[in-house]
Amino acid sequence: MGKCNKKFILVLTLIMSLLLSACNSGESTSSTNESKNEGEGDSKSEEPTEIRIMSHFFNPTPPSDDSEVKQEIEKATNTKLNIEWVSANNYADKLNVMLASGDLPDLVLIPDPFHPVFRKAAEQGAFWDVSPFIDEYPNLKSKIDQIAWDLTTINGANYGIPRPRPSEGDTFFVLRKDWLENVGLDIPTTSDELYEVMKAFTHNDPDQNGKDDTIGFAGQINPTDMGSLGNFEGIFTGANGEWKEVDGELVYTALLPEMKESLEFLTKAYNDGLIPADFASLQVSQVKEMFQGSKAGMMSEKSGAFQENYDALSKIVPDFDFLNLYPLTHINNYNPKGPGFSGMNAIPKSVPEEKVKKILAMMDRWVQDDVFNLHKQGIEGIHHKVENGEVVIDTEKMVQDAVADFNQIVYVSDPYASTVKPTFPEEAQKLYAEIQDERVNTSVANVSLGLYSETAQTYLPELQKKTMDLKTKIILGRESIDAWDDYVENLQKDQNFIEMTEEMNEAYKAR
């Protein structure tokens, strides 16, 4: 049996199991226009609603089940939360297992709403379309920008609550400014200058300890994409994602001659020892540890995540300045524009409609300032204190309790959320905001976001894996760069590839 047939059977199995669960719940969708449940306005008189949630975490350890912040959120939302925190390193694997089994929590993080398996399941009725309910929850409408709702729509339906993120200030290169000064180089703006910085960070003793123990860039790849090395492709192709508009037509980026240039760049960087020798097997957490351990001078990151990096580096680098964490504005006049959201939280159809409304009510309350501020500053006396009317945050305690991981469940729209945090020094807040404002001039959006191709549902996952296998082999020197030319030539003759490209262009023009 072919791989595509196996994937199709897996999708059908998922859909049937979820639909059966929905039928067994004994609930219908006929009352979507009814008023809220009786007593919902006086939730304190009701028993707390138990809600099972699955999300991912990025801190070394997730929030504990008896977290004070979690308890305050439960109190405010009148809920009892059973949160299964899964490491971001293996969340995709865990999600795939749960999707295949049909045993899903009440609220589940879907990192990619347009993933073929999720999309097929949603279209077949395995997840709730929450759009008929949202008018009843004004805070969700006002705290999550309309663009996030629009961009996560599938055939006019919202199969989840989007996690809003700013469109500017997306993940891009960040470097150690103190290392840059130590090696006598300026802020790079071209790929050639970037390479020289990486080379100096590797070979010119940037930390001035007299040892050959540093590397230019800490990065890794994933089985189906370039992971934190992905921006190296973008600075050559000028494309954000797998497609680029060329003369009004969408072109798969593997076909662009600049893609070969990016592979030549990374192959040379690997041979010169400027990227990790084991980049193909590293986890995201290991990449962070490399940078936070002062062993790498660059990585891909949002400046909004710099607090954790500063806290780690300040413990091992004497007099480390926050501003030594410097986000680049652009390379080759390119930086990626974010989609305006980062996945969404979906509710399976196995959840009764009455409970769907309670989940939405929980989130509607959670996004209000007094509750959401718990993510930002924790609890007074534990995570912050007030001095002369100013909130003074204990950042070490915030990190220790992994308070920021609650952002993975609920978030609100904020144009500078990816770049500026209240815990940053004032001068850092000003600098990072200015850099974000400058990035607007060179940021590139993903033109294919939300476009649908029937052929891609079964064909694209295998194509992505095959493409990544070859890219990895070329960078490692196990295949010559000429193998890429052969691959591109054969790809253009592949009937499935031709059909996918035609369908993507039809969807693009229709939009």
**DSSP code string of 308-376:** HHHHHHHHHSTT--GGGEEE---BTTBEEPP-SEEEEEE-BTTS-HHHHHHHHHHHHHHTSHHHHHHHH
- Among the listed ranges 121-125, 173-177, 437-441, which one has the minimum average pLDDT value? 121-125
Report pLDDT for 44. 52
Report pLDDT for 208. 96
The Cα–Cα gap between 361 and 140 comes to 9
CB 77 within 8 A of CB 107: no
CB 22 within 8 A of CB 349: yes
Buried b (16+ CB within 10 A) or exposed e, 302-325: bbbbbbbbbbbbeeeeeebebbbb
| Closest to 298 in 3D by CA, of 444, 442, 178 | 178
Report how far Cα 267 is from the mean position of its chain's Cα atoms: 26
Pairing of strands 107-110, 341-346: antiparallel
Q: Phi first, then psi: what are they for 54, rounded to 5°?
A: -125, 125
Q: Is the pLDDT assigned to residue 59 strictly greater than 70?
A: yes
| Closest to 53 in 3D by CA, of 341, 366, 340 | 366
- Among the listed ranges 13-22, 334-343, 410-419, which one has the minimum average pLDDT value? 13-22
Q: Where are the alpha helices (DSSP H) in 125-256?
A: 138-143, 146-151, 177-182, 191-203, 230-237
Q: In whole numbers, what is the pLDDT of the chain averaged over residues?
A: 90
- CATH 3.40.190.10 spans which residues of the chain? 3-166+342-408, 172-336+422-444
Q: Is the pLDDT assigned to residue 165 strictly greater than 80?
A: yes
Buried b (16+ CB within 10 A) or exposed e, 152-162: bebeebbbbbb
| Closest to 402 in 3D by CA, of 75, 55, 93, 106 | 55
Q: What pTM does this model have?
A: 0.74
Report pLDDT for 45. 66
Q: Quick one: residue 388, left, alpha or beta (phi over 0 = left, psi -120 to 50 = alpha)?
A: left
Report pLDDT for 423. 83
State the average pLDDT over residues 63-69.
95
Report pLDDT for 12. 41
Which residues pair with residue 82 across a beta bridge?
A: 52
| Closest to 110 in 3D by CA, of 415, 348, 455 | 348
State the average pLDDT over residues 264-285.
96
Return the half-sphere exposure (C-beta side, CA atoms, 13 A cut-off) of residue 217: 27
Looking at per-residue confidence, does 193 or 58 come out higher? 193
Report pLDDT for 43. 46
State the average pLDDT over residues 302-311.
94
* Four-way CATH pick for 172-336+422-444: 3.40.190.10, 1.20.1250.20, 3.20.20.80, 3.40.630.30: 3.40.190.10
The Cα–Cα gap between 189 and 278 comes to 27
Q: Is the pLDDT assigned to residue 27 strictly greater than 80?
A: no
Q: Which residue has the tokens 């709403």?
A: 113
Q: Is the pLDDT assigned to residue 30 strictly greater than 80?
A: no
Share of the chain above pLDDT 90, in %: 75
Between helix 284-292 and helix 306-316 the angle, nearest 10°, is 50
45-49, 93-97, 158-162 — most confident range: 158-162
Report pLDDT for 233. 98
Q: Which helix (H) or strand (E) holds 285?
A: helix 284-292
Q: Is the pLDDT assigned to residue 6 strictly greater than 60?
A: no
Sign of CA dihedral 146, 144, 405, 430: positive
Q: What's the CATH code, domain 3-166+342-408? A: 3.40.190.10
